[in-house]
Amino acid sequence: MRAFIFLAALLCGLQAFAANHCDLSEPTRYVDVGEVRLAYQSIGSERDPALLLVMGLGGQLIHWPDEVVERLCQQGFRVVRFDNRDVGLSTWRRPAPNINLPYEVLRYRLGLSLGAPYHLRDMAGDAMGLMDQLGVERFHVLGASMGGMIAQHLADLAPQRVLSLTLVMTSSGAQGLPAPSDALVALLARREAGSREAALQQQADLLAALGSPTVHDDRALLLHQAEQAYDRAFNPEGVQRQLLAILAESSRVELLNRLNVPTLVVHGTADPLLPVMHGVHVAAHIKGSELKLIPGLAHRFQDAFKEPLLAAVLPHLAAHRGDLGLARL
């Protein structure tokens, strides 16, 4: 009985200790990786296993919901989130090359080659360089959407360093998978805005289109989220270059076939941008991977789906912590 009480007290103490170190007000810091300066935030104890979060197209580190980041940290992980190149407070490519995005999208649909100023593997190298600069040898990776594509490259570049891989709402890039509607692609590519107000309205339209049909979006909340992102950093040309990096890449099926990293694939059944077969296809080509489908989840971290996402992700991370500590589930 005494042993049980001691263990319970120890577990409670560990959780309280983790919570005290999960300070979301940690400042944004910077590291130089080659010619790219990356803005990042590290939350949690440096003694805990590191979890690198890789955001999707046009997303900034603030687009990882704070409550999700805090919960991940409270499970005993050092959570590192950062701005990819060309968005947020990280390096923007200058001078901006002249991009005719509709023309490049047409070339992609015709199966023709595209010219991109950089590629997803370069962005994976950025992320690896960030962890090098932080002195982190082995770490977990969780990537969403484009971030999941970058995470695939990360695991291929250095499989010995990736303790676990979590791929959320992402794709293999293979030909033949269901495509989003032309209307959604147009919203995604629409970046010209003559004013701040017009830009906010455009972003709110896109957020609404990426949301679940089972959830009612409050327009004021969408505009507030768009405002936070715009006021931190607004670089529509950078988003176009990131999109080119996605379109310029051929199928990653061969890459996925050679991965040998503990992998969880999470996808929503209502994803309008990367329909559910994208996630099914990714999982089918990674040896030993686990697939979890979340009913109603679309292509955003909406409040209604945060708990289902955490319920899917946390056991996978706990099972592959990579240290001798106790998993705080």
Instruction: Please give the pLDDT value at position 21.
Output: 85
Calculate mean pLDDT across residues 70-92.
Answer: 97
pLDDT at 29 over 80: yes
Calculate the average pLDDT of the chain. 89
Backbone angles phi, psi at 63, to 5 degrees: -80, -10
CA 128 – CA 80 distance, rounded (Å)? 12
Q: 175-204 pLDDT, tens per residue? A: 899 999 888 888 887 767 789 999 999 999
SS (H, E, C) 123-190: HHHHHHHHHHHCCCCCEEEEEECHHHHHHHHHHHHCCCCEEEEEEECCCCCCCCCCCCCHHHHHHHHC
DSSP string, 239-288: HHHHHHHHHT----HHHHHH--S-EEEEEETT-SSS-THHHHHHHHTSTT
Q: Which of 118, 72, 95 is nearest to 242 (CA)?
A: 118
Confidence of residue 13 (pLDDT cuts 50, 70, 90): very low
Q: Which of 328, 246, 253 is nearest to 71 (CA)?
A: 328
Q: 202-246 pLDDT, tens per residue? A: 999 999 999 999 999 999 999 999 999 999 999 988 998 999 999
Q: Contact, 170 vs 276, CB < 8 A?
A: no
Domains of the chain in sequence order: 29-179+235-320 (3.40.50.1820)
Q: 278-296 pLDDT, tens per residue? A: 999 999 999 999 999 999 9
In this structure, of 94-98, 142-146, 188-192, 232-236, the range with the lowest mean pLDDT score is 94-98
Q: Contact, 300 vs 326, CB < 8 A?
A: no
Instruction: Please give the pLDDT value at position 322.
Output: 75
Q: Who contacts 37 (Cβ-Cβ below 8 Å, separation ≥6)?
A: 30, 31, 90, 91
- What is the biggest distance separating any 2 CA atoms in the chain, rounded to whole angstroms? 71
Q: 314-325 pLDDT, tens per residue? A: 999 999 997 644
Confidence of residue 129 (pLDDT cuts 50, 70, 90): very high
Pairing of strands 139-144, 78-82: unpaired
Global confidence as pTM: 0.89
Q: Contact, 240 vs 231, CB < 8 A?
A: no
CA 32 – CA 82 distance, rounded (Å)? 13
Q: What three-state secondary structure class fits 193? A: coil
CA 250 – CA 111 distance, rounded (Å)? 9
Q: Please name the residue that has the structure tokens 């309205």.
A: 201
Confidence of residue 5 (pLDDT cuts 50, 70, 90): very low
